[in-house]
Structure 1
């Protein structure tokens, strides 16, 4: 490969990376907008019914197999649908009723750190002392963002952050649980079924909460929000994600999570005049530092071309999960 071709490929990957970060970061603002007009869990359910159907149609048109055949394939789609789609988005949407889009994006940026910790606990992957410090820094970052008031410990803001944090933990757990369930089903097909299964769970939870379709206000902002989340943050971003995953790997893709809060902050400021305070910024930087410590060996290998040190007995299962966190 010529130097010029290599440079062109790198530039293209960088543009796709930035586009993905913007699409997923602005999704937090789109969610905040849509929550003015939709009941939260119903909103998430409708979004994933539509996105799942679009991606399933894409899988039918472009892959040689779009229906799971084995129990392992259905189990993988079911686990992803339950944890990565349903639980994560139900908790995140409920949480965003109490916190702003930029704050939610910062809390969700802890997900890669949680993924590494769950992998260490469940897949027999080693987590050394430095990585342990990184995890604690990630948790500290979330505490800084929450900035709990002892005089009003059960505040609405804290409740929202806890819900979003639980959602991020569910996403990370689902990513780890699906790691040993890798199958030969094309990723497009697997993603579509995970979305549809997750959507079914979300709609069932919505009904159990007493959410009503009659409460939906079909205004122009509502339709724009739903359309953006379905087509741009869902379908288009999904296609970009897997293209980049094949080109640059899971560690680099995880870095998207640390540009999402920037996109959410800029969009929130432009549309709603939201300003990210110094406390939230400090919390984000602490979370990012924690991520750097947890993944330092892999980052060193990517940046400097050195082999990543793998502790004795550590598994090498990829734990990105193949799903977006938006």
Structure 2
């Protein structure tokens, strides 16, 4: 697969990745009718982790970490797999998958904030400060914060999903720099470690895998999340990260809510309201301001490629 992907235009792979990850929010929502949330997340990464580790073993020499190489695996497993997905699955019990996809769009803003605080980023100039504020305004709009207080009863779900976004951003920043372990190796073992943590968390919460209802809908949701949105999507991610770079690839997070909204309408009959759309616009604008330097470079590169055609 690694070699075949080079023959496919990155834009097509980007669209496919956005579709797979955007759809995952809706299939989580579907699957939660049949699975306890933390057990659902744990089982997903049991399977996805085994598939990615198997792929690493077949394609790279360093498919198993050694010594200090376990540190980035542990950080990623705890924060990016365990904490992020645990809080996300718990949150989607209270908000729709489409709303969760919008809220997760704040992750790059959190990442920039943590990176600046730990002196791993570019610091905060005026546009970045405005971008952070605009991103939080978007969250407030989605949550329904207003003069009369909070609209609706989904505030707990919003906070859980935001907690997942914070965990993902913190894990991204805390991961040791300069690690030369292949990304597929790091991610595969992190998935397995994160799934183990999720199983422990599920047991502490009183969940039981025996309570899973293996209906046809549950099987489709599980297969989608483990194989398509899990293993296949991460392999696309590894390829695109090398092909287009992290700034351009970050934009996939702002296509995912559009996919989630469309799929929510088709599968669940849910229509995303104007408040959520307005919040998405604020979060997208916040991302553009926080990443304004990288986006200018990216646009300059695109113009250069177009001019050279």
Alignment gaps of 5+ in structure 2: 1-5, 303-309
Tell me what 2:71 maps to.
75
- Find out whether 1:142 has 2:139 as its counterpart: yes
Q: Which moved more, 1:142-151 or 1:207-216?
A: 142-151
Give CA deviations for 1:70-94 in whole Å, capped at 9, x if unaligned.
22x1111000000000000010000
Q: Distance in 2 between matches of 1:112 and 1:10?
A: 30
Tell me what 2:156 maps to.
159
Shift of 1:128: 1.1
Tell me what 1:323 maps to.
none
Q: 1:58 aligns with which of 23, 45, 55?
A: 55
Tell me what 2:306 maps to.
none
Q: Distance in 1 between matches of 2:299 and 2:184?
A: 30
SS of alignment partner, residue 61 of structure 1: helix
Q: Distance in 1 between matches of 2:177 and 2:283?
A: 29
Q: 2:283 aligns with which of 281, 287, 291?
A: 287
Shift of 1:269: 0.1
Q: Superposed, which structure 2 residues align to 1:255-294 within 5 Å? A: 255-294=251-290
8 Å Cα contact 2:184/2:238 also seen in 1: no
Q: 1:91 aligns with which of 76, 87, 94?
A: 87
The alignment covers a number of residue pairs equal to: 296
Q: Distance in 2 between matches of 1:249 and 1:103?
A: 27
Q: 2:211 aligns with which of 189, 212, 215?
A: 215
Q: Distance in 2 between matches of 1:44 and 1:181?
A: 28
Q: Superposed, which structure 2 residues align to 1:99-114 within 5 Å? A: 99-114=95-110
Q: Give the alignment's TM-score, normalised by structure 1.
A: 0.87
Shift of 1:152: 7.0
Q: Superposed, which structure 2 residues align to 1:120-131 within 5 Å? A: 120-125=116-121, 126-131=123-128
Q: 1:199 aligns with which of 181, 184, 195?
A: 195
- Alpha carbons of structure 1 residues 295 and 149: separation in structure 2 relative to 1, 3 Å: closer
8 Å Cα contact 1:148/1:158 also seen in 2: no
Q: 2:169 aligns with which of 169, 172, 176?
A: 172
Q: Distance in 2 between matches of 1:246 and 1:92?
A: 27
Tell me what 1:312 maps to.
none
Q: Distance in 1 between matches of 2:257 and 2:13?
A: 17
Q: Distance in 2 between matches of 1:20 and 1:124?
A: 28
8 Å Cα contact 1:76/1:182 also seen in 2: no
Shift of 1:187: 1.5
Shift of 1:257: 0.3
Give CA deviations for 1:265-292 in whole Å, capped at 9, x if unaligned.
0000001110011110010001000111
- Find out whether 1:47 has 2:44 as its counterpart: yes
Q: Which moved more, 1:30-39 or 1:153-162?
A: 153-162
Tell me what 2:245 maps to.
249
Q: Distance in 2 between matches of 1:51 and 1:264?
A: 21
Shift of 1:154: 9.6
Q: Distance in 2 between matches of 1:41 and 1:107?
A: 20
8 Å Cα contact 2:93/2:157 also seen in 1: yes
Q: Which moved more, 1:193-202 or 1:11-20?
A: 11-20
Q: 2:113 aligns with which of 108, 113, 117?
A: 117
Alignment gaps of 5+ in structure 1: 1-8, 307-326
Shift of 1:21: 0.5
Q: Which moved more, 1:153-162 or 1:233-242?
A: 153-162
Structure 1 vs Structure 2 CA RMSD: 1.7
Q: Distance in 2 between matches of 1:293 and 1:133?
A: 7
